[in-house]
Amino acid sequence: MRPEDLLTRAPSAEDVVRETQKLPQPSEEARESLRRSLEVASKPATPAPWPALLQEARGKMDSRYAEPATSHRGGLVGLALVVSKRAFRGVFQPFINEVLRKQVEFNESILDALATIHDVQREHVRTQALWRQELDHRLARIEAAASRGREAAPVPAETSTAKPGPTVDTASVKQTPGTSRGRSRRR
């Protein structure tokens, strides 16, 4: 922290920074572990477009307005039918709007809910992937430490049933996110 990064009158920014410099220095290992955690957990703010599987439904969400009037018949009959359809729509559109208003609101709500479920799923998948990467990294670290330990340790003279195994950093191995830990509280 630098004084120019602080806005404070009392105590002064310089005093605060001086005190922060007196804090016990965390170990390099702790800093590195934190740096890695933060790096893994960093998420660029990417705009999420509407899910592709909902695009078609979204295009049809507003059911108040029909496609432009057409007729498969040709000639004057077809023309008369098209004009009649347009006239019907023109006259009754305000009533159609009112009848379908609730339906449109429902369509909008249900699409929003589906999009939210999609976003939550995407978030879970992303978190799981991050977690797997992080777990792989921790396991690799543990294996490396274990192999270093094996190389350094003298070969035992006699076979023992209680072989000293690799030291496992239990704090660094945690459960997959979303699963219950014994001590966690039900929310």
Partner 1 sequence: MSADGRGSPIHQILPRLAWGDAVGNQVRYLQGLLRRWGHASDIFAETWDDACKDQVRPVRDYAREAGRDAVLVVHHSFESRLVPFIARAPGRKVLVYHNVTPARLFEGFERKVAAACDGARDELLALRPHVERAFAYSRFSAEELVAAGYRNVSVLPFAIDWKAFDTPPDPALHAELGDGCANVLFVGRAVPSKKVDDVLRVFTAYQKLYQPMSRLVVAGYLHRDGAYGAYLHGLKDVLGADRVRFLGRVSAAQLSACFATATTYLSMSRHEGFGVPLLEAMYRGVPVVAYGAAAVPETMGGAGLTTLSDDPAEVAELLAVMERNVALRGQVIAAQRARLASLSQDAVAEQVRAAFEDMLSGRSAPSASSEASAASVELVCPGFTVRPDAPASRLVRSLAEKLPGARILALRPRGAEPSLELGPENVGGVPVWHFTADQPPGRAPASLPGSSSLETAVRVSSAPVVLLGVDTEVARAVLPHVKERAWGAYESSLSGPSIEQARQQLGQRLVVLEPSRSADAVRALLGGVTRAT
Cα–Cα–Cα angle for 8, 10, 12, nearest 5°? 65
Q: Show Cβ contacts of residue 134 under 8 Å, excluding neighbours closer than 6 positions.
A: 37, 40
The binder of partner 1 chosen from 90, 156, 178, 182 (CB under 8 A): 178
- Residues sharing a CB contact under 8 Å with residue 154, sequence separation 6 or more, in sequence order: none
Cα 79 to Cα 67, 68, 74, 82, 87, distances in angstroms: 16, 13, 7, 5, 12
Identify residues 143-162 at the interface with partner 1 (CB under 8 A): none
31 contacts partner 1 (rule: CB under 8 A): yes
Q: Which is nearer to partner 1, 30 or 144 (CB)?
A: 30
Please state the closest distance from residue 138 (CB atom) to partner 1, in A: 10
CA gap 141, 172 in Å, rounded: 10
| SS3 state at 143 | helix
Binding residue for partner 1 (CB under 8 A) from 102, 163, 186, 187? Answer: 187
| CB contact set of 7 (below 8 Å; sequence gap of 6+) | 13
Contact 43, 35 (CB under 8 A): no
Interaction of residue 107 with partner 1, rule CB under 8 A: no
Could you say which residues in the range 73-92 bind partner 1, by CB under 8 A? none
Q: How far apart are CB 58 and partner 1 at their closest, in Å?
A: 11
Task: Give how far the C-alpha of residue 49 lies from the chain's centroid of Cα atoms, to the nearest Å.
Answer: 14
4 binds partner 1 (CB under 8 A): yes
| Contacting range for partner 1; rule: CB under 8 A; set: 54-62, 124-132, 139-147, 156-164 | 124-132
Which CB sits closer to partner 1, 6 or 145? 6
- The reply to whether 132 sits near partner 1 by the rule CB under 8 A is no
Give the residues lining the site for partner 1 (CB under 8 A): 1-2, 4-11, 15-16, 19-20, 23-24, 26, 30-31, 33-34, 37-38, 40-41, 43, 45-48, 50, 112, 115-116, 119-120, 122-124, 126-127, 130-131, 134, 174, 176-178, 187
